[in-house]
Structure 1
Amino acid sequence: MMRSFSLALLSTLLMLMNPAAAQAAGTVEARSASQCQAIAHAIPGATFAGYTPAALAPASKAENGEVTITLLGHATFFIETPGGVAIATDFSGAFPTPYTPDAVTMNRAHPSHYTLNPDPAIRYVLHGWSDTPGEKAKVHLQVGDTLIRNVVTDIRSGYDGGGENGNSIFIFEVAGLCIGHLGHLHFELTDQQYGEIGRLDVLMVPVDGGLTMGADSMSRVVKRLRASLILPMHRLGPPMDQFLAMFGSDFDIGYAPGATIKVSLASLPSKPLIYVLNWQGSGQAN
């Protein structure tokens, strides 16, 4: 009891004395602990899915606990939470957001996944790499109703952030959901990385035929993560068909009429669903 009171008091004092410390203060609040990791570790081998089977639909009137996800293009999704937090993933500025997000995440494999000159109005600019050689990017931040954290992976040499610890898988924990974005994933994950990720309900996965990983390798990652909803990204042309062909009767495949969906714990499909959002963009997947 006394420890909980002390932590809460510390958090309050940090924010009063230094607004910039509010970001760090989130890490001492009980709510900032990862529920996605805790549940996965407590029930090893379990498959997590919604209790009420329901087909995902395009955006409609918001309900409590719903998260709105829009594919803006390439690897950039715009996530809007029930608490009013807006997040753009793999943000480069190339794909306009509906309004200024509270937070953006970035990966440094290509300039199409990051920018070093973001809008100053964006409060939290979260890099998936460290500028200090040999160090890992460390993100564990509470923004409103959302916990944002990362799991670092390597990328192949020859890329902008090349080599060791050059990519981050960002995970967004909100409304009881665990939402993961694989970024520019170049290698299959280790057991340790799977453990750091924990449970995922929604997975954003690059499908590009080999610019990240080939269909066979990427499909193994998807199957191991066991998310209820899989949203392909970073895609263009035939690689999508090659990726979808890797999945049998254990997965459903659906095609959205638009680029936006709403998802909640109650609406998660009971059987894993690969849901292809209808984004009509152009340009190479890189």
Structure 2
Amino acid sequence: MGNSAGWIRKAVTCFQRKRLWILNAAFAAGLLVAQPALAICQLVAEAPFAPVMPGEARVWQASLQPDEVQVRYIGHSTFELQTPQGVRIATDYNDTYRPMQTPTIATMNGAHSTHYTFNPDPNIEHLLYGWNPQGGPMDHDITVEDVRVRNIQTNIRGWDGETRRLGNSIFIFEVADLCIAHLGHLHHRLTQDDLTRLGQIDVVFAAIDNSSTLRLDSLMHVLDSIGPALIIPMHFHFAGALQAFVSRASEAGYVVTRAEGPQRLISRSTLPTQTTVYVMLPGGP
């Protein structure tokens, strides 16, 4: 399964690179007209939304290139994604881990209180529940500016050990020629139907706690089945969880690298050719 997924990913990558080359050639020939940029890409040395503590240095991306997505790890399973057109997305939005700025889109999951809130910021334009509080399915497929967000629901276990149907969602973000999936509080291996609906995924945020979500054997099966280029671990609050996952990932032949900070710019041109685990430590809001 893993070899097949890897072959498919390489084939899709070649196709997308060829498509990008054609688009660039079209721009050069004057066949397509570029939209004016809203801002010049620059680095700002001080965050305008929070005081900088003595000795602290913060770098914020003022604007992004059309093929870039900025990812910042807030904590637990909450990430902030920023798109080239300035859409901000917060995953597993909750009362404990929140980005400094109000997100345009916030996704939530129903596992426990660090994955959702009953008191969301009223200024959030699109609040996407990963489960239906009234029971039954909860399907999303929206496009906001330059990002499409959709979900695939999965089951979870309750604290009593019983299955809660459709209690979790995998959220997929399609932006800047990238497909990014946040697995949420995943509790079981994916079916072939799940994988088909996912499509080709480039970047995966995966819970690696080896306890309240998936055990490592099942998690490695899921990651191998998806076949992403980049795996970003999350939800490693249990002692030894990160070390155990890194060991298993290395055994599986994945490259393991550690980030220098809590944020990273991701683009198709910078995706690794070999499946890579990119360990980011939470950086707060």
TM range (shorter): 0.7 to 0.9
Q: Which residue of structure 2 lines up, in the alignment, with residue 151 of structure 1?
A: 152
**Matched residues in 2 for 1:87 and 1:160: separation?**
32
Give the secondary-structure state (helix, strand or coil) at the position aligned to 1:112: coil
Give the secondary-structure state (helix, strand or coil) at the position aligned to 1:111: coil
Shift of 1:152: 0.4
Shift of 1:44: 10
**Matched residues in 2 for 1:191 and 1:226: separation?**
13
Shift of 1:280: 6.0
**Matched residues in 2 for 1:64 and 1:224: separation?**
29
Equivalent residues of 1:92, 1:112 under 8 A apart? yes
Q: Which residue of structure 1 lines up, in the alignment, with residue 49 of structure 2?
A: none
**Matched residues in 2 for 1:158 and 1:174: separation?**
35
Q: Which residue of structure 1 lines up, in the alignment, with residue 174 of structure 2?
A: 173
Shift of 1:203: 0.2
Does 1:265 pair with 2:281? no
Residue 94 of structure 2 is aligned with which of 92, 104, 129? 92
Q: Which residue of structure 2 lines up, in the alignment, with residue 47 of structure 1?
A: 9
**Matched residues in 2 for 1:131 and 1:161: separation?**
17
Q: 1:180/1:107 Cα in 2 relative to 1: closer, same or farther (>3 Å)?
A: same
Does 1:71 pair with 2:33? no
Does 1:233 pair with 2:234? yes
Q: Which residue of structure 2 lines up, in the alignment, with residue 34 of structure 1?
A: none
Q: Which residue of structure 1 lines up, in the alignment, with residue 22 of structure 2?
A: none
Equivalent residues of 2:78, 2:98 under 8 A apart? no
Query: Identity over aligned residues, as a percent?
Result: 35
Q: Which residue of structure 1 lines up, in the alignment, with residue 105 of structure 2?
A: 103
Tell me, which stretches of 5 or more residues in structure 1 are unaligned? 1-42, 53-57, 282-286
Equivalent residues of 2:152, 2:170 under 8 A apart? yes
**Matched residues in 1 for 2:259 and 2:146: separation?**
27
Higher relative contact order (CA 8 A, sep 6+): 1
Q: How does 1:113-192 map to 2 (within 5 A)?
A: 113-133=115-135, 135-158=136-159, 163-192=164-193
TM-score, scaled relative to structure 1: 0.76
TM-score, scaled relative to structure 2: 0.76
Please, what is the CA RMSD of the aligned residues? Answer: 2.4
Amino acid at match of 2:228: A
